Structure 1
C-alpha cells in the first residue's frame, strides 16, 4: 500500500484532486462553512438591549436571531436541512426500537466474547479493553451544560411573556396567526407533519423577508400609517362627540339650575309677603287639664248570696 500511495501516478491523481478546481472549491467551501459556524457560536452573547421590563435577555436570543436571520447562510442552511432530516427519520424510522436492538446486540456480544475469550485464552477480551480509569464528566463541563439548559429554558419563558404582554405587536400578531392556523391544521395533519410545516415556516419566512425587505417594509409602513390615520380619526370623532355631549349636559344643567333658583325665589317671596299675625294662632294652655275620678256605687255590682247568708257589698279597690 505504501508503494501504491507513493507511486507517481497516484501522486499526480492526488494532486489533481486536491489542488485542482474541484479540490480548491471543496476546501474553500469547507473553510467558509467552518468560519460561519464559528461566527454563529461566537454570537452567543447577552444582547445589549434588555427586555421592556429592564431585565437582561439570554445569549440564546442572539444565537437564534443570528441563525434565523440568514447572515450565515451555510450554517443556517445546514441546520435547517439537519432538522428536516431528523423529522423524516423520526417519522419513518423506529428509533427507539433500533436503539434497544443495538443495545442488546452490543451487550450480548460483549458478554459472549468475554466468556469465549476466558475459556480459550484465559483472559477476557473486555477485561483487557477495560480502561484504567472510567470516564467521568468534569464538573466544568457539567456546569456549562446546565448553564446552557438554564439559558434555553429562560429563553422560552421570556419570549412567551414578551409575546403575551405585546412587547412587539408584530410578533404577537404572528404568534396569533401561527396558533390559529395550527388549531385548524392539527385536525388534518399529524404531529410530525405540523412540526415539519412549522420548521419550514420558521426558517424560510425570515429568508423571504430578508430577500424582499424593502418591499415588505414599505407595505408594513403603509399599513401602519393607515392604522394611525384611522385611530386619529376615531379619536377626533370621539372627542367631538364628547365635547358636544358635555356642552349639552352643561346647557341642561344651567336651565334646570335657573328654574330651580326661580322656584326657590318664588317660594321665598310667598313666605315673606304673607299677612299672618301672631294673634291668628290659638293661645296655648298654660296648665294641664284636670281629670275627675269615676264614682262607683254599690248598685253597680250585683249582690251575691250563698246558703241564706246576706251578701256583703263589694267595694271597688
Structure 2
C-alpha cells in the first residue's frame, strides 16, 4: 500500500452508497451474487447438519493422527505439522467490537425513546410499522422477506440515482395530492360531526357552553405560524386586560361559570317571613 504525505493511501474502496448504486459493477456484482448464492444455499442445504457432520469427522481424524504420532514417534503428527496460525480475535475485538458496542448503545437509546413514548408521533409510527410487519409476516416466510429485501436494496438506490429528478417530482406531486385529500377528508368529517357536537354541548348545559366558548376552533388551513400569532395576540390581550379594573379581570373565559344566585331581594324575603309567621297559630 502506497503512502501519501505520510498517510497510508487507501485504494479504491467502495462505500456503502457506491456499492448499492453500482458505481463499480464488478465489486457490487460480486457482493450481490455472493448474498444471493448464500441465500440459495441456506434454502436448499441444511448447513447445520453438514457442519456438524464435517466437524465430528475432522475431530476424529485429528485425534487419531495425534495419537498415532505420539505412539510411533513420541510426538503427535498434528502438533508437529500444524500450520502457523494467527489470532483473529484481537483484530476482531479492536476493529469490530467497538463499532458493534457503539451501534448497540444508539439502538438501545432509540428503542427506549420509542417504547417510553418520548415522542408520541414516533411511537405511533413504530406501532404502525409493527402492525405492517405483523401482516406481512403472516403471508410471507422470513426467507422470502430477506431475499426480497436484498434484491430491493441492490436495485432501488440505483434506480433512484438514475431517475432522481423524475422520482423527486413525482413524490412532491403525490405528497401534495395526499395532503389535499387529507385536508378535504378532515373538513368533511368535521362538518358531519358538527351537529352531534352541538347537540352534545346543548345537553351538557353550562359546562358545554363554557367548553364551546373557550376551546379554540381549529380549521383545516390553520398552521403552526397561525397558532403562534394567536398565542401572541392572546398574550397582548391579557396584558391589556391586566390594566382594567378588578371587576373586569374577574369576568371572562378564564373563569368557570358560577352557580346562579337567588333573585330574591331583601324586601321580598321579609314579606315571605311575615306571611309565614301570620299563618302560625299563637299559643294560648
Could you tell me the TM-score, scaled by structure 1's length? 0.46
How does the TM-score come out when normalised to structure 2?
0.50
Structure with bigger gyration radius: 1
**Bigger relative contact order (CA 8 A; separation at least 6):** 2
